[in-house]
Chain A
C-alpha cells in the first residue's frame, strides 16, 4: 500500500510529439483514482509510465517515499489488469494465477497459499481447474484480477479492465471492483474512456485531453462545476448542450442571445460576467439535458429562458425520453419524463434551469467561474 506522486511528468516521443504534459497528481494511500479521457489523451501512457513500461522524459515519479523513475518495472511492486485479461489459454485458472509468481521464483507452498486466498476473495475457488475458454467473460475478468491480487502489490493499475464485457456485466463488475478495493485497501489507479465508469468508481477522477490534465476532483465537482467546455461535454450522458451566441446588456439586464434565442441571465451573475469581460462577447452557454424542462411549473419559474423548439427525434429510454430538438438554428437534447408524448416535427416549449447553466468563453473554452455565493443568489432570484 502506498502513496503515488507524479510531479511535473512529461512524455515526449520526439520534440514535436509530446503525449503527456506537466502531469501533477498526489494519490493518497488506499485512494481509488480514475484517469478518463478520449483515445490518445495520454491516460494509458501515464499509467504505463507509473508501471515502468514507458520511460519518463521529465519529472519525478514517487511510489511511497521512493523515486522510481529508474527502477525496473518488475521491481516497482505494482500489478496491472487489462481489458484483454492476459490469460494463458492453455493453462488452468490455478496455473494462470500462479504463473506470475512462478516467474518471480516464489516457493510452491507460498504460491499455493496466495492463489487459494485470492480465489476465495474473488469467489472463484470452484473454477480453479477450468481453462479460460470454459469461463464466461465475468469469470475471466475475476481471474485476471486474481492474477494481480496474488502479487500483493503496493499499487494496482487497471487499464480499461471492463471494456470487453457486455453492458450488464460491466455494471455488475464495476460494483465488484469497488467492493474489492474496500476489501483489500490498496491504492488503485484505473484508466477508462467511459465517463460513467469514472463517475461511479473513482474517489477522484482526472479528466485528460491531449496529454494535459483538464480537471482533477471528485466526480460530483467535475460534473457540477466543469473547468472547461471539454470537461463539460465529456462528462455526462447525453452530453451537455452547447449554444453559441453573444452576451449583451440591454436596459440594465444581461441576455444571452443566439440566432432566434434570447435568455435573460440572472442578476446575481452580473458581477462575474462583467469582471471576466463577457459582456458584448461571443460566449457559449452550456446546459445539461436534464436541466432543459418542458413542465408547466418550470416554464413559469423560468419564463425568461423559454425557447420555442421543434422535435426532430425522440429516444425512449423507459422512465425518460431524450428529445432531440432544434431551437433557433441550434440543436439540443432535453431529457424529459416519459409521460410526455412527442412526435418528430411537433412544436415544444422548453426552458432552461438558470441556476444550472454554464457559460464558457468561446475563444479559450474556459468556464466563467461563478462563485458559490453568486450561484446561491442566482438561485434565490428566480
Chain B
C-alpha cells in the first residue's frame, strides 16, 4: 500500500516542483500536518506512514491536495498498481483537481502535419501505434449497460463508423471505451472538428462530413441498433506524439466541464475539448488571479451573490449563445421576451452587471465560472 501511495505522490509532487521524502515512522498524531525543523512539512495518515515535503511555505491548496490524494489512493482499488496505461491516467481525475492537471500543459510546440505524419505510442507496452494528428475518443455508456450483453454489437457499430488504431474497454463505475482515431484513417482530410451547430443545415451532395457529425451519427446508431445510451468525450487534437498524455488528461477535464455545463444547458451527447475553451481559460488562471477577478466582480455591488442561480445562469448563457440578441435569446430559452427582460433587470439589480452590454456579459460569465469552481475559496455559497 505504502509503495503505491509513494508512486502516485512522487508523480505529482515532482510534477509541481516540490522535493519530498517519503518515510515510515511516527511524526505526530494520525491525520495531521507537522512542521519539521528542516523547513519541511510532514503529513501522517497512518500509525507509521508519512510524507515529508520540503517547501518554504506550505500553500493550503497543496496541503489539501496532498490529503485528498493520499486518501483517494487509499480508497482506490488496492489490487491495481499504478502504471503508464491510459486507464490509469483516466482514473487520476478521481483525486487530482483541475488546476493541478493543467500545470502539466507545457509540451513541445512542434507539430506533425499530414504530409509528415509521426507515430504515437498508444499504450504503455508499445503494442499499439497510431499516426498523428488524431483524437482520443472516450465513449461512456449508461451505468445500466451490462457490457457482456452488448459489447460485441457495440464494437461492431463503432468500427463501422470509425477506424480506430486502438480500442480498449475501460472498467470503472460505468463501462466505457477509449479509442484513438487518426485523421489519416478517416475519409476526410480536414482537421476541424466542426462547429457546435454544424450539421444543422441541409446536407448537400458530396459534402465532407466533420468529425462531430460522424460522432453524432455514431451515438444515434448506438442507441437505435446497439440499444445503449452513450456520450462521447473528445480530446484536444493530438498533433505531436509527446502530446499523448496531455490529450488523455484533457478527456477527464472535458468530462468535468461537460457535467458542469449540462446542469445549465443540455448538450448533444458529444463533448469535444474545443467546445470548452472559455471554461479551460478560466480554470487555467493562477489562484491569485482567480480570487482577484472574483473580488473585482463582486465589488460592483457589496451584496452581489455568486454563484448565480440556475435560472440566472441559463439567462446569461442563453444571451451569450444568442450573441446578446434579446429576441434570439428569448427564442433559445423558450421564454417570452418580457420575461427575459425582467430577468436581466433582476440580474442587474442582484449583481451590478447589465448583460445587454458585451463587456458586462463576458465579465459576469467569467465571474460565474470562477464562483462555481470548488478550487476558489471565499466565494459566497448564497445564490442569487
Contact = CB atoms under 8 A, between A and B. Distances in A.
Interface string A50-79: 011111000000000000000011100001
A39 B265 contact: yes
A90 B221 CA distance: 13
A91 B187 CA distance: 13
A240 B228 CA distance: 40
Interface string B244-277: 0000000000000000000001100000000000
A233 B205 CA distance: 39
Contact of B205 (A134, A165, A331): A134
B224 interface: yes
Interface string B134-155: 0000000010100001000100
Interface stretch (B20-28, B35-43, B90-98, B207-215): B207-215
Nearest to B226: A103
Contacts of A39: 265-266, 334
B200 A90 contact: no
Nearest to B200: A164
A309 to B, nearest CB: 15
A194 to B, nearest CB: 11
B173 to A, nearest CB: 14
A91 B220 contact: no
A38 interface: yes
Contacts of A79: 224
A373 interface: no
A234 B334 contact: yes
Contact of A80 (B142, B187, B217, B223): B223
B166 interface: no
Nearest to A38: B334
A85 B217 contact: yes
Interface stretch (B80-88, B112-120, B335-343): B335-343
A245 interface: no
A319 B202 CA distance: 27
A103 B225 contact: yes
A96 to B, nearest CB: 10
B205 A80 contact: no
Interface residues of B, number: 41
A147 B225 CA distance: 10
B100 to A, nearest CB: 27
Secondary structure of the B contact surface, majority rule? loop
A85 B209 CA distance: 13
A276 to B, nearest CB: 23
Contact of B224 (A37, A82, A169, A240): A82
Interface residues of A, number: 52
A84 B338 contact: no
Interface string B301-339: 000000000000000000000000000000001111111
Contacts of A48: 223, 229
B204 interface: yes
A166 B334 CA distance: 20
A262 B360 CA distance: 37
A193 interface: yes
A48 B224 CA distance: 11
A318 interface: no
B333 A38 contact: yes
Given A83-B220, A165-B202, 10 more contacts: A40-B266, A72-B227, A84-B213, A86-B223, A88-B217, A103-B156, A135-B203, A136-B202, A331-B337, A331-B338
24 contacts: A37-B334, A39-B265, A40-B266, A53-B142, A53-B228, A54-B142, A72-B227, A79-B224, A81-B224, A82-B223, A84-B220, A86-B217, A88-B161, A88-B221, A89-B209, A89-B217, A99-B160, A100-B225, A134-B206, A135-B203, A137-B202, A147-B224, A165-B202, A233-B339
Interface of B: 142, 144, 149, 153, 156, 160-161, 187, 199-207, 209, 213-214, 216-217, 219-221, 223-225, 227-229, 265-266, 333-339, 341
Interface of A: 37-40, 48, 51-55, 72-74, 79-91, 99-100, 103, 133-138, 140, 147-148, 163-166, 169, 193, 233-234, 239-240, 242, 244, 330-331
Kindly list the 3 A-B residue pairs having the minimum CB-CB distance in the complex, ordered from nearest.
A38-B334, A73-B227, A86-B220
